[in-house]
Structure 1
Amino acid sequence: MRILYLYQYFVPVQGHGMTRAYEFARRLIAMGHDVKMVTSAGYLPEAYKSLTETTEIEISGIPCIVIPVPYSNYMSFPQRIRSFIRFALIASWRCMRHPADIVYASSAPLTIAIPAIAASRWQRIPFVFEVRDLWPELPIAIGALRNPLLKRAARALEWLAYHAARHVVALSPGQAEGVIKRGIDTNRVTVIPNSADVDLFDVPDGSGAPVREQLGLTPDQPLIVYTGTFGLMNNISYLVEIAVAMRSIAPDMRFLLIGAGGEFEKVMQTARDHGVLDDTVFIWEPRPKTEIPAILSAATVATSLFLPVKEMWNNSANKFFDALAAGRPIAINYCGWQAEILEATGAGIVIPDQDATQAAHDLAAFVHDAERVQAAREAARELAYSRFHRDTMTAQLEQLLRRVVTEGH
């Protein structure tokens, strides 16, 4: 198949961020398919951000069309909207002219549906839409999208994207339910969650020793790790509040937060104000994905956090699956399908979302129960291999795309 793969935030393995598109693309290519990734330079390594015109180039083995539209989590919401629209318009023109058998477009942003629909209609080929988050539900829920006209426009685009797509891929059961509620037949929706890259993350325990040494930790000293975006929805300041409470509960506990985003300076300042920065809380700039396995190997517990907003329960956070692949227990502060998995398997712990002191008590009790931690590690690794292995997820996607193309003829 000739697959036109649209994802505005493409990240190769040497970058930092979600590598789902890269991992799927390289496996589809290995299966013999012709994949062309259409993306922006927003999350690419610095070497590609100097591009001044749309460029066809191979990045980490993936043939790409890179559109030089800037994007970052530091942008204001209006700046992001302008970036989304500009990318959508340029990508539409390029995608209409690039021959393919199928279009696979991954959101967010929701505007990625515009070039996908343009290419699908112009070339008369099917379009499959991947929903990573339910937009505009999330920005409306957290107050990021308030303008009534923009709300109506976003909801209209959402409806159009779902109904124009031959099939919709959702990353969680809750997201699938959200799509179905918007009038899409159940048979046209498939759940393919984020995946565990066990080939990358299943490393020897000693791999984390240099990280622990850099932090000045003893071999048995507990370390709580967060790796990911420091955005408004991620609520990383709450983890700092937990660390503050932890000083009087388990003074030996250390926290390592790694990432970037619009809330980075706020998180730093919060830690500084409470006197925990570079004492019990360490905050690092983003690291390439290739360095994250050693960092998670150093961790006692990994974390995934969000604001206390019910709409976030349907997320499919990449860091959750990275922790599973690394065989590390994960602590989350939200309900939903991931919480149900942790409660059913014992692969981690669900902590309160608005009570930092109680969360600290729960986390300390978990970490200091060696048998429970070991059982959680084994359960996490079992989940990674048996339910969320990237190869398994790619095989499901490949079969789906084949079926859609076949039915289209």
Structure 2
Amino acid sequence: MRLLYLHQHFSTPEGATATRSFAMAGALAARGHQVTLACGQYAGAVTGLAGPFRRGRREGAVAGFRVVEFAIPCGNVQGAAARSRAFLRYAARATTLALAGRFDLVLASSTPLSVVLPALAARRLRRLPFVYEMRDPWPELPRAMGVGGPALWRAMSRVADAACRESRAVIALSEGMAETARARGARQVAVLPNGCDLALFGPGIRPWRPPGIPPEALLAVYAGAHGPANGLFQLLEAAALLRDRRLLILLVGEGAERPRLMAAARLLPNLRFLDPMPKPRLAALLAASQIGLHCLAPVPAFAEWTAPNKLMDCMAAGLPTVSNAGGRAARLLEADPLGPCGIAVPPGDPAALAAALDGLAADPDRRAALGRAGRAQAEQRWDRRLLAERFCAVLEAAA
């Protein structure tokens, strides 16, 4: 199979962002498929390519597959207008590639939703089948957050309807997203959640702590975007309420809210900010930490429409995790048959966050038990190699 894999935010593990597309493209290549992955320049990503861009693109082999990188910068620190322009520029360049190349199947992996436009063009102009990977439900999430307006939501809804109805299959990252895809007319839907790299995140990783952190400090780590959807001001409020002076909250990453967060936290001695870091360095930081953190804004729609890889990374690292998300995330932490591996607190309740952190700080035996259960759940349910086999099977059937 000759596959065109469209993912604007692609990164290898040397970058500081998600690596799902790297793992899945590598698994497809290992099964003998010819994979071309087209991406842009996402902030924090490392594509594995070097050398100059020619006519706005460069390409080369990465981990057994071909990567085509367009010179289109994009990132969370950009404003909405700049990101929208980047999304549309990528869609235009990817459409040219899809129409000109010799492919048997297109995989359009959102976010953003605009990534399906090249797949729809190839479907209608060349009868080229495609699979739509729904990482976020559009426009449901923007509408739930009040981002955009009715005209934009209607336009996005039409694109999302077409993506679900015209695709051979939809890959959804959660059951909530799968229900959304079916409601939009998808015929074949496979739920393939985010997984974790058990070799990268694990108990055998050599621990690393940033300079200047006291050896007796108990570290609670949040690693991810610092945007409105993440609701990180709740962590600042929780830090102000902590009773255990050994606890230190680390916020790793970047995003539009980071300058405001840093200004608001300047008087909090138990909270620090770290720049985005490559996945191996993050794995070493988690190995030196005691608690993982997962935080979202208190938006009810997030309960079943999110599939956070942060939870999976913390489980793989053997860390107990505190989350303020309800729904699926809460079930993974507290209601799994393998046993609880973390604590879920009510959304929008910084006092409950602080109480959960204080409780874990005072109980090392409970931290250890929750961490073991999390690692066991990661090994049995979220090993990315197992999920990649199912991912490949969906695409092979669609082709």
- The TM tier, using the shorter chain, reads over 0.9
Q: What is residue 325 of structure 2 aligned with on the other side? A: 334
Deviations 1:5-37 (A, max 9, x none): 000111111111011001111122122221110
Tell me whether 1:111 sits opposite 2:107 in the alignment.
no
Deviations 1:23-64 (A, max 9, x none): 111122122221110111224449869736122223455411
- Note closer, same or farther for the CA distance 1:120–1:203 as it changes in structure 2 (3 Å cut): farther
| In structure 2, distance between residues paired with 1:292 and 1:212 | 11
Q: Residue 286 of structure 1: SS of its match in structure 2?
A: coil
User: Is the CA contact 1:13–1:60 (under 8 Å) kept in the aligned structure 2?
Assistant: no
- Tell me which of 145, 159, 165 is aligned to 2:148: 145
Q: What is residue 63 of structure 1 aligned with on the other side? A: 66
Q: What is residue 388 of structure 1 aligned with on the other side? A: 382
**Letter matched to residue 336 of structure 1:** G
| In structure 2, distance between residues paired with 1:77 and 1:213 | 35
Q: What is residue 77 of structure 1 aligned with on the other side? A: 80
Q: Residue 198 of structure 1: SS of its match in structure 2?
A: coil
User: Is the CA contact 2:169–2:186 (under 8 Å) kept in the aligned structure 1?
Assistant: no
Q: What is residue 379 of structure 1 aligned with on the other side? A: 373
Deviations 1:160-191 (A, max 9, x none): 11111110000011111121222334xx1110
Tell me whether 1:224 sits opposite 2:220 in the alignment.
yes
Superposition map of 1:299-318 within 5 A:
299-313=289-303, 314-318=305-309
Q: What is residue 236 of structure 2 aligned with on the other side? A: 240
Runs of 4+ in 1 over 6 A off after TM superposition: none
User: Is the CA contact 1:212–1:298 (under 8 Å) kept in the aligned structure 2?
Assistant: no
Q: What is residue 356 of structure 2 aligned with on the other side? A: 362
| In structure 1, distance between residues paired with 2:384 and 2:122 | 28
**Letter matched to residue 305 of structure 1:** C
Q: What is residue 92 of structure 1 aligned with on the other side? A: 95
Structure 2: which 5+ runs fail to align?
none
| In structure 2, distance between residues paired with 1:60 and 1:402 | 20
| In structure 2, distance between residues paired with 1:93 and 1:212 | 45
**Letter matched to residue 217 of structure 1:** P
| In structure 2, distance between residues paired with 1:370 and 1:203 | 16
| In structure 1, distance between residues paired with 2:333 and 2:203 | 22
User: Is the CA contact 1:35–1:62 (under 8 Å) kept in the aligned structure 2?
Assistant: yes
Question: How far 1:110 sits from its partner (Å)?
Answer: 0.5
- Note closer, same or farther for the CA distance 1:318–1:285 as it changes in structure 2 (3 Å cut): same
Deviations 1:289-348 (A, max 9, x none): 121110111111111111000111221111111111111111110111121121113111
Structure 1: which 5+ runs fail to align?
none
Question: How far 1:145 sits from its partner (Å)?
Answer: 1.2
Q: What is residue 174 of structure 2 aligned with on the other side? A: 172
| In structure 2, distance between residues paired with 1:204 and 1:8 | 33
Question: How far 1:357 sits from its partner (Å)?
Answer: 2.1
| In structure 2, distance between residues paired with 1:264 and 1:212 | 19
| In structure 1, distance between residues paired with 2:321 and 2:127 | 45
Q: What is residue 315 of structure 2 aligned with on the other side? A: 324
User: Is the CA contact 1:95–1:116 (under 8 Å) kept in the aligned structure 2?
Assistant: yes
Deviations 1:179-220 (A, max 9, x none): 1222334xx111000001101111426x22x316641232xx
Q: What is residue 21 of structure 2 aligned with on the other side? A: 21
CA RMSD of aligned residues (A): 1.8
> How many residues align structurally?
392
Q: Residue 262 of structure 1: SS of its match in structure 2?
A: coil
| In structure 2, distance between residues paired with 1:86 and 1:285 | 28
User: Is the CA contact 1:196–1:388 (under 8 Å) kept in the aligned structure 2?
Assistant: yes
| In structure 1, distance between residues paired with 2:293 and 2:235 | 9
Q: Give me the identity figure in percent.
A: 32
Question: How far 1:229 sits from its partner (Å)?
Answer: 0.8
Q: Residue 253 of structure 2: SS of its match in structure 1?
A: strand
**Letter matched to residue 117 of structure 2:** I
User: Is the CA contact 1:333–1:350 (under 8 Å) kept in the aligned structure 2?
Assistant: yes
